Structure 1
């Protein structure tokens, strides 16, 4: 689907914009479609199964169920799953409507597809988030592994600190995204909307940016980008590493202290064994 827009500004200029989206409205018309349909059915069954288990655990444990971090992960995954199913149904309904209109007009009528494109894009985002949370859930299955256990213990140790850090990071990051969007959205395509600005700021944190183009469009954008690089790429990232390293050191120290208390001191076993042997020899005499 292609969209070309030309905005006539009050000063007499024209601001063009374009967007191309690839959308597959018919999902099951190929030989691979049956496999996709089976996978979607299995996903719905698993969603219902985990919903039943989630409600069952709430009934059994009550408020204690929400004392665990994984409870919130499961709840979030279920919300995303049902949201994805709802968007999938809406996309299917809209696709059927478009197909019927296309058949009625024999492809000669105007068919507005922006709505289904937005639904498909949101559905893709939800699937990506759900894949991320499902992958994170594997840590719960691997918690018996020593290294994974240390990782889980570290995240539990710095859980409260990370919440405060996340709030500050989100507020600061969104402030920079909004500033760049307002300054550069009319001239640079990578800043044309807030989502693109968010992605561009994240790429800039990883070292991928075009500072020369930003400075050419607006001199203030170059100054703000300097503060963005200092505050986000250096200060905030180092604070995050400090929080995690501090929690890791605390977990490591606690593990070593526990292991030292449970482990017998060197020579204790040998002394006991020698004393028992001496007692046995005395009795024999």
Structure 2
């Protein structure tokens, strides 16, 4: 369409490329997420490595607790962002916007801060808010996070199978493929259930999954449409 307009008018026509730029941005965002999740899936190739397998199991055990902790930490962190922003918005350049305030608090969590600026901005409120943030966020919240990871790591180390190696896995698969090794009873039962499972019983579940997928696609389309408009 754009090429035809240029050919008809020899380039002397105004073409609004705003919609095309929006669509290009959306496709770029989708491509970025696809690359991200596609790269993350390469972690499955490292599941035979003992440390990587331990890392994956640790995240699996700590998943629900980390989600709860993230919700709690986000509430606490947002409250401190509002506190520092409203108190020092007219006195510190680091608190001139919410984004800069969050960046300053994140640097304070990493122990990169200038206490003299806070003291100069407010002799009492500066050190008080700073001490309150260090106690609640750095000491309490970070200790909770480390405790969750430590407990999940201990559970994963107790339950992970350290004897799983890629060579033995490939050898077992090859032996079963050529018929030198028979499958055990549990694997045989699972195979029989998968082969003789009645598909009618799974039909309602598949319908629910289809409805959920259609709903997700519809939500994505509405978001893209709202973004383009």
Q: What per-residue deviation string (whole Å, max 9, x for no partner) do you get for residues 64-117 of structure 1?
A: xxxxxxxxxxxxxxxxxxxxxx9992498xxxxxxxxxxxxxxxxxxxxxxxxx
Partner of 2:157: 252
Bigger RCO (CA 8 Å, 6+ sep): 2
Q: Is 1:89 matched up with 2:21?
A: yes
Aligned counterparts of 2:77 and 2:52: Cα–Cα separation in 1: 30
The alignment covers a number of residue pairs equal to 143
**SS in structure 2 of the partner of residue 207 of structure 1:** coil
* Structure (1 or 2) with the greater strand fraction: 1
Matches within 5 A, 1:58-77: none
Name structure 2 gaps, 5 residues minimum: 1-17, 164-229
| CA RMSD, Structure 1 to Structure 2 (Å) | 3.4
Partner of 1:179: 83
For residue 152 of structure 1, report the CA deviation from its aligned partner: 0.6
TM-score (norm 1): 0.44
TM-score (norm 2): 0.53
Question: Which segments of structure 1 move beyond 3 Å, counting only runs of 4 or more?
Answer: 125-138
Pair member with larger Rg = 1
> Cα distance 1:251–1:228, how it changes in 2: closer, same or farther (>3 A)?
same
For residue 137 of structure 1, report the CA deviation from its aligned partner: 4.6
Residue in structure 2 matching 1:204, options 96, 108, 117 = 108
Q: Is 1:228 matched up with 2:133?
A: yes
Name structure 1 gaps, 5 residues minimum: 1-85, 93-118, 120-124, 260-285
> Cα distance 1:209–1:159, how it changes in 2: closer, same or farther (>3 A)?
same
Q: What per-residue deviation string (whole Å, max 9, x for no partner) do you get for residues 230-272 of structure 1?
A: 111111111111111111111111136x86xxxxxxxxxxxxx
Matches within 5 A, 1:27-66: none
Aligned counterparts of 2:33 and 2:102: Cα–Cα separation in 1: 16
Residue in structure 2 matching 1:168, options 72, 82, 92 = 72
